[in-house]
C-alpha cells in the first residue's frame, strides 16, 4: 500500500486530499491529512466581513463536513520532517512514515517581525483574530486618517489591500464619516498594483474617490507611540488608524527541515509541483515559492496538476502534467462591482470585465457556495 501524507488542511490541503482520495479509489493507497484546526475559514470574504454585521460563523465550515471520510484525518501538526527517512514527527508524539508527502502548510503571518501585532488602532484582516479586532476598531472609528499598506511581498491575494481600501471608502461614505476622514494607500511599487493595466484603472478610481496614493513606499517600521509608519525610502506618514498586510513567511518546520528557501517557501518546480530536490515530495498552495500569486485560484489549478502527477507515479507511470501558471483574480472596487483578470506564466493579465455588477454577483453570491460545495471538495 502506498501512503500519501498531506501536511496542512487549509484550502489547498483539503482540496488536494479530497481530489486525490477520489482518484486513488481503485489503487491501493492511503491518504492521511494532518491538520490541527477544526474549521476551515472562507478567507476571501474576511475583508468584506469586517464591514458587515454578520457572525464569524458565516465564514466557516467544520473540516469534518468538508473532508471525505476516506481520508484519515490526524488532528495534530508536524514538528519535524525527515525526508531521508520519509518520516514526519507530530506534536502529539506520533510519527508517520510516508511514501509520498504533499506539503500544504500555507503562509505564516509573521507579525512579530515588524512589531505590529494587532492592537488598538493598528490591525489587519489576514487572520480571524485580526479581522475581529479590525471590525471592532472600524465600529469605533469617528474620523481621521486611515493608512493601508502591505509590509512585504509576497502576500496572499495581491489585490486584497486595494479592495479593502475601496470598501473602506464606501463604508465611510455610508457612515457619513468620509468628510472627516482621509484614506492613504501606500504601495511598494511605482504604481498601485503589480500589473500595469489594472493599476491605471485603480489609480483612476483612487483619484475619483479622493484616496491618496503614495508609490514606492516599502514598509520599514511602525512608530506606534507617534502613530507614524516609516518606509525604507525614508518617508514618514502619520495615521489615526493603520491597516497593514502582515509579513508572510513559511512555517518553521519547513525552514528547519531544509525543504524551503530562506523565507521558508518550499522550493517547488513551477510546472510539476514537485519539490526541486526530493522526488517523493510535492507542494501546493501558499507554502510554495511559485512565481505567481498566493491565491486560492493558483492552489486550485495547480492542485489538479499535482493530483494527476501523483496518481501517475502511484500507477508506476511518468508524471507528465504541467501547471502553466494560470491564475484568475477578482478585484472588488466596491461592495457591488469588480473587475476580473486572468494570466499565466505565458501571457500577461487580460481583463474579462470592469465594474460589472454581474461579476460581483458571481463572486459574492455564488463563489462561496462553489468554494465549499465544489472547489474544496476537489471537484472542478
Partner 1 sequence: MTEYDIAIEVDARGSFCPGPMMELIKAIRQSDVGEFIALFSSDEGTRVDVPAWIKKAKHELVEIINKDGYDTYIVKKLH
Q: Residue numbers of the site for partner 1 (CB under 8 A)?
A: 153, 188-190, 194, 196, 216, 218, 232-234, 291, 348
Helix (H, G, I), strand (E, B), or coil: what is residue 183?
strand
Helix (H, G, I), strand (E, B), or coil: what is residue 345?
coil
Least Å distance, CB 146 to partner 1, is 24
Least Å distance, CB 262 to partner 1, is 9
According to DSSP, the β-strands at 72-74 and 78-82 are: unpaired
According to DSSP, the β-strands at 219-223 and 211-214 are: unpaired
When the beta carbons of 26 and 262 are compared against partner 1, the nearer one is 262
Helix (H, G, I), strand (E, B), or coil: what is residue 358?
helix
When the beta carbons of 55 and 291 are compared against partner 1, the nearer one is 291
Q: What φ, ψ does residue 100 adopt, rounded to 5°?
A: -130, 145
DSSP-derived secondary structure for 210-262? TEEEE-S--EEEEETTTTEEEETTS-EEE-SEEEEEPPEE--HHHHHHT-B-T
Least Å distance, CB 73 to partner 1, is 37
Least Å distance, CB 317 to partner 1, is 29
For 66: left if phi > 0, alpha if psi spans -120 to 50, otherwise beta; the answer is alpha
Residues 6+ apart with CB under 8 A from 152: 219, 247, 248
When the beta carbons of 218 and 355 are compared against partner 1, the nearer one is 218
| Helices and strands (DSSP H and E) totals, the chain | 10, 23
Residues 6+ apart with CB under 8 A from 84: none
Least Å distance, CB 289 to partner 1, is 12
DSSP state of 198: H
When the beta carbons of 214 and 334 are compared against partner 1, the nearer one is 214
Residues 6+ apart with CB under 8 A from 204: none
Least Å distance, CB 184 to partner 1, is 17
When the beta carbons of 177 and 189 are compared against partner 1, the nearer one is 189
When the beta carbons of 116 and 307 are compared against partner 1, the nearer one is 116
When the beta carbons of 240 and 263 are compared against partner 1, the nearer one is 263
Least Å distance, CB 373 to partner 1, is 35
Amino acid at each position: 500500500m502506498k501512503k500519501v501524507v498531506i501536511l496542512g488542511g487549509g484550502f489547498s490541503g483539503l482540496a488536494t486530499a479530497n481530489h486525490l482520495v477520489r482518484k486513488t479509489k481503485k489503487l491501493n493507497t492511503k491518504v492521511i491529512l494532518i491538520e490541527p484546526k477544526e474549521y476551515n475559514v472562507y478567507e476571501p470574504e474576511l475583508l468584506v466581513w469586517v464591514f458587515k454585521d454578520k457572525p464569524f460563523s458565516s465564514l466557516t465550515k467544520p473540516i469534518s463536513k468538508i473532508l471525505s471520510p476516506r481520508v484519515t484525518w490526524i488532528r495534530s501538526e508536524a514538528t519535524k520532517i525527515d525526508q531521508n527517512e520519509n518520516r514526519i514527527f507530530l506534536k502529539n508524539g506520533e510519527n508517520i512514515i510516508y511514501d509520498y508527502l504533499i506539503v500544504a502548510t500555507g503562509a505564516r503571518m509573521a507579525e512579530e517581525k515588524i512589531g505590529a501585532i494587532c492592537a488598538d488602532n493598528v490591525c489587519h484582516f489576514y487572520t480571524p483574530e485580526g479581522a475581529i479586532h479590525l471590525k471592532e476598531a472600524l465600529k469605533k472609528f469617528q474620523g481621521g486618517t486611515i493608512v493601508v499598506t502591505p509590509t512585504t511581498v509576497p502576500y496572499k491575494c495581491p489585490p486584497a489591500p486595494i479592495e479593502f481600501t475601496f470598501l473602506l471608502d464606501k463604508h465611510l461614505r455610508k457612515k457619513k464619516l468620509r468628510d472627516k476622514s482621509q484614506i492613504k494607500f501606500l504601495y511598494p511599487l511605482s504604481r498601485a498594483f503589480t500589473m500595469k493595466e489594472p493599476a491605471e484603472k485603480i489609480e483612476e478610481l483612487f483619484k475619483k474617490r479622493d484616496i491618496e496614493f503614495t508609490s514606492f513606499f516599502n514598509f520599514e517600521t511602525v512608530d506606534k507611540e507617534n502613530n507614524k509608519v516609516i518606509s525604507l525610502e525614508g518617508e514618514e506618514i502619520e495615521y489615526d488608524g493603520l491597516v497593514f498586510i502582515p509579513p508572510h513567511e513559511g512555517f518553521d518546520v519547513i525552514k528547519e527541515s531544509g525543504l524551503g528557501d530562506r523565507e521558508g517557501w518550499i522550493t517547488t518546480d513551477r510546472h510539476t509541483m514537485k519539490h526541486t530536490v526530493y522526488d517523493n515530495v510535492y507542494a501546493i498552495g501558499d507554502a510554495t515559492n511559485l512565481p505567481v500569486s498566493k491565491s486560492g485560484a493558483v492552489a486550485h489549478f495547480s492542485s489538479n496538476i499535482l493530483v494527476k502527477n501523483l496518481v501517475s507515479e502511484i500507477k508506476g507511470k511518468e508524471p507528465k502534467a504541467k501547471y502553466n501558471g494560470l491564475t484568475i483574480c477578482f478585484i472588488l472596487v466596491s461592495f457591488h462591482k469588480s473587475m476580473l483578470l486572468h494570466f499565466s506564466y505565458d501571457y500577461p493579465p487580460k481583463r474579462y470585465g470592469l465594474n460589472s455588477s454581474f461579476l460581483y454577483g458571481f463572486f459574492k453570491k455564488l463563489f462561496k457556495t462553489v468554494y465549499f460545495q465544489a472547489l474544496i471538495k476537489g471537484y472542478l
